[in-house]
Amino acid sequence: MKYVKSERGALPVLVAILAIVVVAVVGVAVYNVNKSRQTDTQTVSASPSPANSPAAAASPVDNRKTYTNDEFGLTFKYPSEYGEVTLVKDTQPNAGPRFTGQFAGNAKLRFIVTSASYGEDEGSYLIKTFRGHYESGGKTYYKWAHYQNTGATPVLIGNPVKTLSVGGRKVLIVNDSSMVHIDGPAKGPGPGNVAGLVNLGGSTYPGVVFITSMPADELEQILSSLKI
């Protein structure tokens, strides 16, 4: 008797094998996708965000006050704790005025602006009648009321504490040792004081002098902020 082998039992086996292959392929694909996402997430996390990067760090806040006087052609910044500036006007008959700027919160600093027509008085020999500085023969001299009004010999700025360049202009920090009068000693900002000598742009108010008992480097910070 002959028997014929039936192939019906092989079909379920083939279906099972195909199902296993499909599941395996799908599993590998899902694994690769998840791995790729994790790699992308790690890459993004490793990169600094713009908000936290050094370039995006907030710049220091400038808490200084700004003083501006359009009549003088003068603008500068100073520490806010010095308070408001008050101008005291000194007048003479038939002559231009002189102004003294005082700081409400710092009695150690003041600035003086003398008009070109301010006359001589008991302070004419002092640096507080400064009307600007000029160059001659390779040397620097300062203008003052007595010199301009009488033709007296000029005062040489022989040894400034420091020379600055602000906005292309020469600004000098001096003390008493810096001032040399050809006819004898010249009075400067006073013992223990330093002064900043600044030329202004106008003819009515040709210069401003800052006088202080503070260290010279603190005065330099103010002078460096000048806009003239």
Read off the pLDDT band of 92 (50, 70, 90): confident
In terms of domains, do 124 and 145 share one? yes
Asked whether residue 146 is assigned to any structural domain, the reply reads yes
Q: What is the pLDDT of residues 117-155, one digit of tens each?
A: 887 665 555 678 888 898 989 899 888 766 666 666 678
Residue with tokens 């027509």: 117
Read off the pLDDT band of 89 (50, 70, 90): very high
Asked whether residue 204 is assigned to any structural domain, the reply reads yes
Torsions phi, psi of 193, nearest 5? -105, 160
In terms of domains, do 90 and 194 share one? yes
Token digits of residue 160: 């400034």
* Type of residue found at 213: S
In terms of domains, do 69 and 48 share one? no
* Type of residue found at 201: G
In terms of domains, do 124 and 39 share one? no
Asked if the model's pLDDT at residue 44 lies above 70, the reply is no
Number of structural domains found in the chain = 2
In terms of domains, do 194 and 118 share one? yes
Read off the pLDDT band of 208 (50, 70, 90): very high
Residue 180 CA: distances (Å) to CA of 39, 78, 151, 185: 76, 30, 17, 6
For position 209, what pLDDT does the model report?
Answer: 95
Asked whether residue 208 is assigned to any structural domain, the reply reads yes
Asked if the model's pLDDT at residue 45 lies above 50, the reply is no
137: left (phi over 0), alpha (psi -120 to 50) or beta: left
In terms of domains, do 39 and 100 share one? no
Asked if the model's pLDDT at residue 195 lies above 80, the reply is yes
In terms of domains, do 48 and 84 share one? no
Q: Which domain holds residue 172?
A: 65-223
In terms of domains, do 26 and 89 share one? no
Token digits of residue 165: 């360049």
Among 210, 218, 7, CA closest to 110: 210
Most confident of 51-55, 134-138, 180-184: 134-138
For the ranges 23-32, 84-93, 210-219, the lowest mean pLDDT is seen at 23-32
For position 75, what pLDDT does the model report?
Answer: 98
All residues at 6 or more sequence positions from 212 whose CB lies less than 8 Å from its CB, including other chains: 108, 109, 110, 189, 193, 194, 195, 218, 219
Token digits of residue 84: 């408001």
Of 122 and 109, which is predicted with more confidence? 109
In terms of domains, do 35 and 94 share one? no
In terms of domains, do 98 and 178 share one? yes
Asked whether residue 156 is assigned to any structural domain, the reply reads yes
* Type of residue found at 105: G
All residues at 6 or more sequence positions from 183 whose CB lies less than 8 Å from its CB, including other chains: 152, 153
In terms of domains, do 76 and 30 share one? no
The DSSP symbol for 153 reads: P
For the full predicted model, state whether its pTM sits above 0.85: no
Of 95 and 176, which is predicted with more confidence? 176
Asked whether residue 1 is assigned to any structural domain, the reply reads no
In terms of domains, do 105 and 186 share one? yes
